[in-house]
Amino acid sequence: MKDGQKNWRWIWALVAVVALLVIVVPSLLPHSSSKNLSYSQFLSDANNHQIKTATFDNSSGSINGTFTDGAKYNSMGFNPPLQTDINQVRKDGVTVNVVTPSNTLATWLPYIFFIAIFGGMIFFVSRQARGQMNGIMSVGRSKARLYSEEHPSTTFEDVAGYYGVKQEISEVVDFLKTPERFKEIGASIPKGILLVGPPGTGKTLLARAVAGEAGVPFLSVTGSDFMEMFVGVGASRVRDLFQTARKDAPAIIFVDEIDSIGRKRGAGVGGGHDEREQTLNQMLSEMDGFDPAEGVVMIGATNRPDILDPALLRPGRFDRQIVVPLPDLDERLPILKVHCKNKQVEPDVDLELVARGTPGMSGADLANLVNEAALHAVRRGSTSIAMIDFESARDRVLMGQRRDSLVLSDDEKERVAFHEGGHAVLAYVLEHADPVHKVTILPTGMALGVTMQMPMEERHIHPRNEIEDSLCVRMGGRVAELLVYGDLSTGAANDLVGNTELARRMVREWGMSEKIGPAAWGSQGQVFLGDDLMHTRDYSEDTSRVIDDEVERILRAEETRATEVLTLHRGGLEAVARALLETETLDGTQVGQLVDEAFGQPVHANGPKAVVPSLNGASFGEGHQRPTVLDEPTSDQEWGPPAWPDGEMPSA
């Protein structure tokens, strides 16, 4: 509630109290001592010449006066007293005085009171209506928050890692602080900088650091703030935003999630969204139109640069795109240190080992990992975070929460053990497959069992033999069930979905089919953009049939290869499955030992395949690819991860 409204409430309460006091207090005040007479007694005493004076009050009907001995009296007569009685009293020698008193305050107070209440109601209603009108009239104003030099306090020192990104974006800060250094040589600063990267990599945090470092007005707004139920509001807010920035130039405008208003115009079912397109057109005009904004730098953040309008990305608007990628090992370590700064961490915790064991995690993932480790330490009853807490937290983040309430029958548990054993054995035996980190038959997340693989080294491209081994490993669960039970179950649903999508991308996008050759057909776009709806299919029915045949050929070939390998290592499959039934969880080293012992000799001539140990073990190599988790949903619904690690393959 506003202070003005509080003051008015106190004023009205005070008026009500004063009115009550005026009405009630006079009746409570003590009166002078006098003899009370009945009206008949008054007339009798007047007839007997015992009363000297009498004052008749026409308004109240009261009579008061003095006796002949000087004593006072009062009496209540008729209202008003009869004139005949007054005349008779005068004949009896009484000095009579008839008065009609007029109490202006008492007369008008009730009217004043009700008029004040009515006036107060009208005033309150008018204030509310005026406030609503002000809200309607100000709907076109920008909702951007203006930060001064002191707020926010985040600086580049608070952003761990990303040294190259900070160097690029700091040029904007330097230009705004000392523009003469750049103008001397004729350089001009980019008008717009677009921060691009996966979710959770710290794009908004970098913008806050720019606000803390800039020393110039910093206006922060999200893309959704421009959209309203009224037509034209978005464009009006864009105009007001840039007008405010021009007044305080040099200034920085930060638009978070800019893809909400910067999508391609004319895309989608129905031809797009007129209000959003008007807003985008106004932003394009403000950034580099007939009257461009001088001294105003715009910073946008998005994780979907592919859906932005080309006019927004051309030079003169967003001149520079800064990629904020997933952090590598050198960046994950300082990020972990930042998030562990205010937490009770045991001295023997090796954060470098934790950083090496978390490839592919973003800054937000690492923050969540540290928090999950702290929560696990509390559940253990510990007052500090140990390495075992980080190991449990990583399993919780990658595989999901363990479901202790789900109890499997002995037959189901055995089938899950052989299914996961098939994945684990193939992951160990196949040369180019990522090594097994952990395999468990404990229900975790939405899966009845989980096999997790973790890469040993950083990879930016994936060769064909590596992709084929990944397909073969995913076939391991289905093939193991066929070998042991002679039939199939629903446990391989997620494996088949992932494999089909991966094989289709091999054929259609990556040119890994001899029949299709070096061609990319029908790359899958985002449905909401409407690209596939507004364009005809770019390949014929014959090509479509060839693509389907090639996908089927690849999948059947990998199934055949998985069958051959598991048949050769049937003993290892049995050993891993029995060990899972006994201990429920195995790490990669134990899986390798069981397979080698059952095979009678090391499967790999150069020694056991390198595996990724737990965070309690020794150090191991770095991996930029996110760990692969093979899981089996409890129903036919697709619960698993994407068929191939995060996003598109990097372009050559």
308: which strand partners?
Answer: 263
**262 shares its domain with 235:** yes
For residue 139, is pLDDT > 50? no
Domain membership of residue 132 (yes or no) is no
Token pair 């952990």 is found at 438
Domain match, 503 and 607 both: yes
DSSP 8-state symbol, 257: T
Alpha-carbon 516 to chain mean position: 44
Distance separating alpha carbons of residues 188 and 182, to the nearest angstrom: 7
Same domain, 180 and 234: yes
Contact 436/630 with Cβ under 8 angstroms? no
360 and 419 share one domain: no
Write the DSSP symbol of residue 263. B
Whose tokens are 């007052």? That residue is 383
The secondary structure element, H or E, covering residue 264 is none
Which domain CATH number covers 525?
Answer: 1.20.58.760
Encoding tokens for residue 628?
Answer: 């692969």
DSSP tag of 189? -
Query: Based on the structure, what is the number of domains in the chain?
Result: 4
- DSSP β-ladder status, 145-147 and 218-222: antiparallel
- Torsion angles phi and psi, residue 560, rounded to 5: -65, -40
Clarify whether residues 243 and 285 are in a common domain. Answer: yes
Structural domain ending residue among the three candidates 305, 323, 341? 323
Q: Is 611 domain-assigned?
A: yes
- The chain-wide mean pLDDT, for the chain, equals 75
Instruction: Clarify whether residues 278 and 394 are in a common domain.
Output: no
**Between residues 42 and 375, which one has the greater pLDDT?**
375
Task: Give which of 395, 527, 508, 519 is closest to 451, Cα–Cα.
Answer: 395
CB atoms within 10 A of CB 320: 16
Q: What is the model's pLDDT at position 532? A: 46
Would 248 be classed as within a structural domain?
yes
Contact 319, 190 (CB under 8 A): yes
CATH code for the domain of 340: 1.10.8.60
Q: For residues 252 and 171, what is the distance between their CA atoms, to the nearest angstrom?
A: 13
420 is an active site residue: yes
User: Are 426 and 307 members of one domain?
Assistant: no
What's the CA gap between 403 and 652, in Å, rounded?
43
One domain for residues 381 and 425: no
Together in a domain, 446 and 592: yes
User: Residue 222 belongs to what domain range?
Assistant: 145-323
The identity of residue 15, as a single letter, is V
Burial class of residue 27 (count of CB atoms within 10 Å of its CB; 0-12, 13-18, 19+):
exposed
What pLDDT band is residue 115 in, cutting at 50, 70 and 90?
confident
Give me the CATH number covering residue 79. 3.30.720.210
Q: Cβ distance 584 to 421 under 8 Å?
A: no
* Residue 459 placed within a domain: yes
pLDDT tens-place string over residues 198-257: 888 888 888 778 777 777 777 878 766 666 655 556 677 777 777 777 777 777 888 888
Dihedral in degrees, nearest 10, Cα atoms 109, 112, 113, 115:
160
Which band of pLDDT confidence, cut at 50, 70 and 90, is reported for residue 639? very low
* Number of C-beta neighbours around residue 443 at 10 A: 23
**What is the per-residue pLDDT for 617?**
43
Whether residue 397 contacts residue 430, with contact meaning beta carbons closer than 8 Å, is answered with no
Residue 422 has pLDDT above 50, yes or no: yes
506 in any annotated domain: yes
C-alpha pair distances (Å), 156 with each of 62, 152, 210, 334, 355: 90, 12, 7, 13, 21
pLDDT tens digits, 484-527: 998 888 888 888 999 999 999 999 888 898 888 888 876 544 44
**405 in any annotated domain:** no
Hey, what are 527's tokens? 């449905």
Q: Residue 256: helix, strand or coil by DSSP?
A: strand
Regarding whether 574 and 491 lie in a shared domain, the answer is yes
Q: Which two tokens stand for residue 647?
A: 């996003």
**How many C-beta atoms surround the C-beta of residue 338 within 10 A?**
16
Q: Is residue 415 part of a domain?
A: yes
Give the position of tokens 């990583």.
394
Tell me which of 399, 432, 453 is where a domain ends. 399
Given 420, 550, 559, 632, which residue is catalytic? 420
Supply the CATH number for residue 257's domain. 3.40.50.300
Angle of helix 493-508 relative to helix 541-568, nearest 10 degrees?
130
Tens-digit pLDDT profile for residues 587-636: 888 898 899 899 888 888 777 776 655 555 433 333 345 566 665 443 33
- Domain limit, last residue, from 300, 323, 346: 323
The answer to which of 32-46, 219-233, 354-368, 629-643 has the lowest mean pLDDT is: 629-643
| Same domain membership, residue 196 and residue 77 | no
Asked if residue 250 has a cis previous peptide bond (ω within 30° of 0), the answer is yes
Mean pLDDT of all residues in 374-378: 90
For residues 386 and 485, state if they share a domain. Answer: no
Cα 171 off chain centre by:
30
d(CA 334, CA 340): 10
- Segment 443-456 mean pLDDT: 79
Dist CA 321 CA 273 (whole Å): 26
> Hey, what amino acid is at 354?
V
Give a yes or no: residue 118 inside a domain: no
What kind and span of H or E run contains 193? strand 192-196
Confidence at 553, pLDDT banded by 50, 70, 90: very high
pLDDT of 481: 92
C-beta of residue 399 within 8 angstroms of C-beta of residue 450: yes
